[in-house]
A = this chain, B = another copy of it.
Amino acid sequence: MLTRKTKYGLKALSFLAKQEPGIPVQISKIAEAENISLKFLESILLMLKKNELLISKKGKGGGYILAKSPNDISLASVYRVLEGPIALVPCVSLNFYQKCDDCKDEETCSIHDFMIEVRDSNLKIFENKSVADLV
């Protein structure tokens, strides 16, 4: 299951992709349109900005703009920023690798190969889809 954070983030990016490009959209406008708590959304957009998926402008007429073309924002990158690893176990994660502390070694782990299959299947779908596909 997705956390709300990721779900809201995807919806917000989709909303931004539907607006006229280059014109800042206020958080409050997105929050209202997508039925998201304003303050919560604020923190989500901030994370997306820090990870260079969004650009912001302060002051009057300010707001958020997509940092790149919707086509160039993969859903994998969004997922990794908001949800974390795409893999189901840390020991097969490409971007967040960690040894599983219950496993003696990865070669003898009975679920390791299956976990790689699931990861690759999900990578394929998340890497090949972009924010443009949500519009």
Q: A-side interface residues toward B, CB under 8 Å?
A: 1-2, 4, 7-8, 10-11, 14-15, 34-36, 75, 84-85, 87-90, 100, 102-104, 109-111, 114, 117-118, 121-122, 124-126, 129, 133-135
Task: Tell me how many chains of this kind the complex includes.
Answer: 2
- Which residue of B is nearest A126, CB measured? B118
Cβ of A80 to closest chain B Cβ, rounded Å: 12
Which residues in B have their C-beta under 8 angstroms from that of A15?
110
A110-B122 contact in complex given A2-B89, A85-B1, A88-B2, C-beta closer than 8 Å: no
A103 to B8, CA, bound (A): 11
Taking a contact as CB atoms under 8 Å apart, the answer to whether B122 and A10 are in contact is no
A-B contact pairs, 29 of them (CB 8 A): A1-B84, A1-B90, A2-B88, A2-B89, A7-B100, A7-B102, A7-B111, A10-B110, A10-B111, A10-B114, A11-B109, A11-B111, A14-B111, A34-B102, A35-B103, A36-B102, A75-B114, A110-B135, A111-B134, A114-B129, A114-B133, A114-B134, A117-B125, A117-B129, A118-B122, A118-B126, A121-B122, A121-B125, A122-B122
